[in-house]
Amino acid sequence: MNIIDLRSDTVTLPTKEMMDAIQNAKLGDDVLEDDFVVKKLEDETAKLTGKDAALFVPSGTMGNIISIMVHCPRGSEVILGDKSHTFKYEAGGISALGGIHSAQLSNNSDGTIDIDKIKTSIREDNVHFPKTACISLENSHNLCNGSPINIEYLSQVYNIAQENNLKVHTDGARIFNSAVALNLELKELTTYTDSITFCLSKGLSAPIGSMVCGTKEFIYHARRTRKILGGGMRQVGILASAGLISISKMTNQLKTDHLHLSQLANGLSQIKKIEINPTNYKTNILYFSITNNPFSDEEFIQHMEKQGIRFFALSKNKFRLVTHSGISDKDIHFTLNVFNNILN
C-alpha cells in the first residue's frame, strides 16, 4: 500500500541530485574547519540570511540551545512563548545544559506574543531576579497554525530588545516557509534578529542538519558551544552537499507544499464533523478537531492508517497534518476522500 505520510515535513527524503552530491562530495575535517563543502554551505547561508557568518549543526534543537546559551549567561533569563518549540519540545535543554531560566509568555494564535507582555516581563536590575538576556521567537510558528510572523512585528520586538540591551534569537526552523508565504526575501525576515536557526531537513528535504547564523563573534562562541554539546563532526561535507541543494533549489517546492495545504484545509472544511478555519493556514501545517467523533483519537488514527494515511494527534481531539515534497495532488484528493468516507 502507498503510504501518504502527513505526520511532518521531517519525513522528506533527499532528491536524486542530493544523493549524487553526497556521493561525490569533496570532504575534509569540519572540526578542524577544513571541510570545503561545509564552509561553502556556511558562506552561502550567511549571504542568504544577511548575517556575517553561519555554522552547520546536526539539528535545529541543538542550534536553538547553542544560540540561547551563547546569548544567555548561566542564571540569566530568556523570554519565549509557551507554545514555542524551545519550551515544549527541546527536553528543557536550555535549563538542563545552560542553566538558563525561561519566562514563558502566552502565544497568540498567530504565533506572536503581546508586545506589552514582553515589555513588562523584562526584569528590573534586582538581586532577587535573574537578569533578562534574550527574547526568543519562532517563525513560522509550528503550534500556532504554522503561522508566518511578519516584519512589522519582528521589528517591534527587536526595537524593544535594543532599548533594553537584550539579544533576539529566532527559531526559524521553517523560516523559508515564512518567506515564501509572505512573498519576501529571506534576509528581509532575518534583519530583526541577532541570531537565527533554520532546518535543512524539513521542507528543504535534506537528510540531516540545521544552520545557525549571526555575527562572527556569535558564531565563534557558537562553534565552541557546539563542541561542548558533542556536535562537532568530521567529514560532514556528505551532509552539507545536500544542504547546498536545499537552499539553492528547494524553495520553489515550498510554494507547492503551501498550495497542497490550502487545498487540504479547504477540502476538510467541507466535511461537517471537522472543525477547521481554512483562512488560518498560510504555510504547510494545519490543525483540526472533530465534533461527535465516533472513534477515540487513537482509533481514528488507526482507521486512517489502514487506508494508507498517517498523521499525529498532538493532544486530545487536536490533529495535525503537514504537507511536504513527498505529497502530490493525487495524494491530497485521496486523503480528502478517505476523511469524508470514514467520518460520514
Q: Which DSSP string corresponds to 88-143?
A: HSSTTHHHHTT--EEEEEPBPTTS-B-HHHHHHHSPPS-TTSPPEEEEEEESSBTT
Residues 102 and 242 in one domain: yes
Its domain, for residue 311, covers 4-10+251-343
222 plus 261 within the same structural domain: no
Same domain, 296 and 183: no
Give me the CATH number covering residue 45: 3.40.640.10
Please list, in sequence order, all residues whose beta carbon lies within 8 angstroms of the beta carbon of residue 294, skipping any fewer than 6 positions away: none
**What pLDDT, on a 0 to 100 scale, did the predictor assign at position 294?**
86
Burial class (CB in 10 A: 0-12, 13-18, 19+), 252: exposed
178 and 287 both lie in a single domain: no
pLDDT of residue 292: 87
Cell digits of residue 31: 572540526
322 and 338 belong to one structural domain: yes
Q: How many domains does the chain fold into?
A: 2
**Residue 91 shares a structural domain with residue 172:** yes
Q: What is the pLDDT of residue 1?
A: 75
Which of 195, 219, 249 is the last residue in one of the domains? 249
Report the predicted TM-score, pTM, of the whole model to 2 decimal places.
Answer: 0.96
What is the mean pLDDT, run by run of 10 residues, along the chain of 344 residues?
Answer: 95 98 95 96 98 98 98 98 98 98 98 98 97 98 98 98 98 98 97 98 98 98 98 97 98 97 97 94 97 91 96 94 98 97 90
322, HSE (Cβ side, Cα atoms, 13 Å): 22
264, 335 Cβ separation under 8 angstroms: yes
